[in-house]
Amino acid sequence: MRLRTIFLLIAFSTAGAFAQPPGRMAALQQSVDQKTADWDSLARTLESRLARMLPCDPRVRTAIEDVNKASDARLAALSQYWQAAAAQAHADVLSVAKALADEDAAARDVDTARAEAEQQRIAVDAQLADLADSLKRRAQLDEAGKALTAIAEQVRQRVAAADQESAKRTALTAALRDLQVACLAREKSIQTEIAALTIETARWSDYYASRIARAHTECSITNQGPTRPLRKKQ
């Protein structure tokens, strides 16, 4: 049962790193797509709409602010998505670490059982060797020899089973370590995306603030009107 659970963990975590995220992650991705489409629609037409307005038209500021709000909504949706992805990635890292610790403990138990079985095999083989010498001199020990031979076969089977289990555990531990590396890499990649998004958010905020300031400046220049020439003194 323990092996089956760990294999399922490996399969799920590996698929989760590359497949479309289910449930809440899918809903967050859908929100990102919708908010991005809304922002893109407004941003693409902003300059053409502003070109048809006078510099001091109040709709200029409103149009820029609408795009700014759409941009903020898009970036907020992205932030929610990546924060959820980071939480899931961290949970996966912890799950794999626990599975690896459990597997290491189980592997040690298997190694101990294997060593004990090997010691029993050596002891039984030694007893068989001694009994074989005795059998040559005492025929009545034949039944005891048969019983000891049967025990020796059981011990050998235990040793063989322990060897097979040890090989499986070794392969499973290696797979879990590979999975741990992959999960840590994914978590680091997501943190990189979050850091990049933080920078992008600040840049878009600065851009729209400067765009509004530019519109205000254009309005101020327009309101000043043409400069009148000074009259010469008579």
Question: What is the domain count for the chain?
Answer: 1
Q: Is residue 231 part of a domain?
A: no
Q: Is residue 232 part of a domain?
A: no
Q: Is residue 213 part of a domain?
A: yes
Q: What angle do CA 81, 84, 90 make, to 5 degrees?
A: 140
Q: Is residue 114 part of a domain?
A: yes
pLDDT in tens, 164-212: 777 878 888 888 889 999 999 999 999 999 999 999 999 999 999 999 9
The predicted model gives 32-54 an average pLDDT of 95
SS3 232: coil
Domain that holds residue 8: 2-222
Q: Is residue 229 part of a domain?
A: no
DSSP output for 14-35: HHHHHSPPPTHHHHHHHHHHHH
Largest CA distance in the chain: 154
CATH code assigned at 106: 1.20.1270
Q: Is residue 119 part of a domain?
A: yes
pLDDT of residue 188: 95
Which residue from 167, 179, 162 is spatially nearest to 99, judged by alpha carbons? 179
User: From CA 143, how far away is CA 123, in angstroms rounded?
Assistant: 19
Q: Is residue 100 part of a domain?
A: yes
Q: Is residue 227 part of a domain?
A: no
Q: What long-range pairs does 219-227 form, CB within 8 A, spacing at least 24?
A: 219/55, 219/56, 219/60, 221/55, 222/54, 222/55, 222/56, 223/56
**Which distant-in-sequence residues (6+ apart) come within 8 Å of 75 by Cβ?**
197, 200, 201, 204
Categorize the per-residue pLDDT at 132 as very low, low, confident or very high, splitting at 50, 70 and 90. Answer: low
**Which distant-in-sequence residues (6+ apart) come within 8 Å of 155 by Cβ?**
117, 120, 121, 124
pLDDT of residue 152: 66
24 against 147, higher pLDDT? 24
